[in-house]
Structure formats: structure tokens, C-alpha cells
Structure 1
């Protein structure tokens, strides 16, 4: 559009593409918090709500790039209600949510379900601005009180049992086989660190394992490189990132060779990353419910 407007989907996609073009997966960037008592998942310090889906990734990236030690955010009005203020010159971060709006029908099918006013309800993505705790003054927050213990088991053997996949060790490749519903991992000692082992296992078990037809029934793709295959890899990468944030484990880019393919997909579909993050969040919700956590 002539006024330079970008849709929320395009804002998200442009942000991710900027890093991918440099050969970096933004969601796998390590983040070392100076406040280890605080949960690593981005959350709202006003109401203790944990951000979800693509917002988790976008706010994590902001913390990494801007050096914020605590992943806690709030809106301008929430800060004001807490009797605080935003430090002058601070630039906020976008978070996104879906909302229904009334619109004019564009097709015959839409006209057929229009209401009495001739309108239909259409779901759109909207955004609003939040500020990090480091950008706020005049209030005190109980940082340890923000921490929320996870219901999900952090040990890989326990996670595999919870999901329901068979876990085996051996060989030099990490792989999930949906035909036998099993994950094969190299022995932990062969990885650079225990964190790298866990990050890889998160990808295979929490990511691919949840997509099995007996669970969330995702499409895995028929061959290396097709669109469904690449999209599934993106989902698994993001699910691994969510689990890494859950337990404060340094993220690890599982398949760096996919970056060129991800760039191609995102350039052709500016909703692809949002949808992948939503599917990864769906997988996390499934795992959390299975572990006895609260329903999303």
C-alpha cells in the first residue's frame, strides 16, 4: 500500500527473514539471563500471563538482541496501573492476537453466510505494543514470584514416555520414524554438551513425536525438501525452542541446512511462520495437558 502499511503477518515474516538471510535461526539464539529465578518463557509482569505462539518467539528475540535480562513485559496502560512509567525514548515490541471483525463479503460463498446487515465475520491478526521490565521505572516486581515451575518433565527419558514414543540410543544421527513411532538419538556423550543433546531430543520427541497420526496427526511430507516436509521441520524447530525456553536450556539449530528452504517458504507465504508457531504451541499445549497441567 502507498502509506507503507505492513500487515502483522508481514511484520513477523520480515523480522524472521532478516535473521535467516544472515544464516541465523532467530528462535535458536542463546539467551543468558541475569535473573535465573525467573522463568525463561516471556510473560506479562502485570498479570503473570505467559505469552504464546509467535509472541513467545518474537519477545525472546527481543530479549536476546536488546540484552534484557528478564523476559517480562506489559502494556503502557498496565504499567500505569502499577503506578510506574515508561523510560523516555523506549521503543516497545509488537505482540499479536487474533480478533474477529465484521467485513463485506467478497465471494458468493461468503454472501451466503452474511448476517442481516450483509456482513460476515472475518478473523484478522492484530497487534499491540508491550514494554520490557528494563524499560520501566517507578515500580518494584517480585522477580522470583514470576517464576512458574513447569509440569512437563525435563528429563528426556521421561518426556519420551509422556509423549508415548519409543526412545533408542545409537548411531550418529537423531531421527524420528513415524512408521514405528520411535526416536533414535546418538548417545548423550557424543554431543557438544548435555544442553545440545536435550535441544536435539526436544526437536525429535516434542516436535516430530507430537505430530504422529495417533496424536496431532500432522502431515510430515513425502520426501526431503517438499513443502510439507519443510513446514514440519519448522514446527519441530519451534517446539524445541519452546521446550528449551521452558527449562532454560540453550537452544540449538537442529537442521541449519534448511535455512534456504525456510526463506523460500516464508517469501512465498507470509503466514507460514505464524502458522508454524501456532502448530508448535498446539504441540506444547498437548504435552502440557498430558502432563497434567492446566488446559490452554
Structure 2
């Protein structure tokens, strides 16, 4: 059903009001989506690693070869990270059919926008009467696109082939500390987290990081969480995302990473202060929060660094023997 507004004598006023309402709604919808990505930690222009499967190049239309621009880049980046698509190529439903393929049943598309302009009939008449240039009204159209990974039957050349990852840029003394902790660290995928219930850490492969030095910052952040397990320093790790308890623990883990990296002479390119600031916004009502977090982080960093000291002692004793 097509929705129409009340038409004036010129037939354009109702249309203009509806277009404005549509445009405001779409701007709000897209803005809310970007904010939700930020709040959920899915921020491809900040996240220090990409996918082990896909690079965060510019998304493009697989049929025309044209790159998307503006807000559509952010929308499609977010979709690639959220769903783990292996590439940055997209098609409309009709384009997939035209290429001899189809969108798989049950797949949901991603809404993007196209900016355009139109000149209402009333504006053309006004401009003609006043011998002036008509003023075009900007508007947004929405389109639904599908990643080629959501399609089947397309020509082989359209499907993304995973590129081999480069070699790891290893920092030996950081590796020594990580191994010495004995933590269960599982490498793979495109997420970094610590699972307290199963007591393991998940990390993306080091070469998936845009700058590999940041792998160690992320690793020590998760080891900071790991140190809080009931069998170690016994912090409360029960907070769910968005709660104050969760924010406090994130502060502790990030400051632990900062302290540990500093002790090892590692300088990540993702600045710890930027990350901490996002959590301080949640904790502004508690002006002692940063002090408590720093105290707990010192204990956690000392706990982690003690493993390296023990490893070096054992190594020296082995050489002496």
C-alpha cells in the first residue's frame, strides 16, 4: 500500500511533508543503528583487529564494481563484523537474480541508503514565475542489499576467497609471560573475550590485528579478567554487559593491560586512555571508581608479572644445571 499525504492545489505539499517525515525517520534509524554498534563494542573504525576471514576494505557492489560511500560504509562494515561475512561484496535481490544466482532462503538483508534530490512541481512553477533557479529537495531512499556470502549460484569469481594471513610479529618476552601463566588461550574467530564459567580466553589470530602490537594489549586485557577468577584473585566477575559491575571489571582489565604492557616495554597503538574514558562515563557518579580500579589492576598486573619472574628463575636454574 502506498501512503500519501493530503495534496494541496499544487499537489505537492502533502508529498513534501511525507518525504520530510520519511527522511527524519530514516536519519534517526541509521543514527540509532550506529550508536547501538558503538554501545555493543562493534565499532570497525576503532576495533584494533579485523576478521580472520575478511579485510575491512571499502564495501562494493559486486554487480557494478562501484564502492559504497558515506554512511553506507559504516553500515556495511558493521554488518560484516556482526555476521562474520568473509568479504565486502554486496548485491540487491534483483542483481543476484540477474547474475544467475539467488539469495538463500531465510537470509535477511542490510538496509542502506541512497541520497538524491527532486524538484517539486510547485517549486518549478515558482522558479519560472520569478525567473530563478528551482531549489531541489534532498531525500533518502532505502535499499536492501545482501552480502554475496548470503547468495548461491553466483559466478565463482564473485565469492570472496580468504587471503592468507601474514606471519606473526612475535615479542619473545611477552610470549614468555603469556605461556608462563598457563591460561587456556584459544586462538580463532574475530572476537576477544574471557569466559569465567569455563575459564578460557578467546582471541583473534595475531595477524588479524591491523597493527599486530595490539594483539598483546588485548591478550593482557583478557588475562586481566582471567586473574579475577575465584581460584586466583577472586574478583566479582558476574556483571552483565551494561551494568556498573561489568564496567568496573572492564576498567580493571584495561588498566591491568596498560600496567603490564608498560612493565614489558610494549607500546600499543590503541591508547588505553581512550578505552578507559568510555567506561568512566558510566562511572561518573562514583568519583572513587578509578582509584579502586587502579588498585585492583596493580594487584592483577603484579599477579601476571610474577609468572614471568618465576619462568626466568626456572630458565636460569636450568642453564646453571
TM-score (norm 2): 0.39
TM-score (norm 1): 0.42
**Larger Rg belongs to:** 2
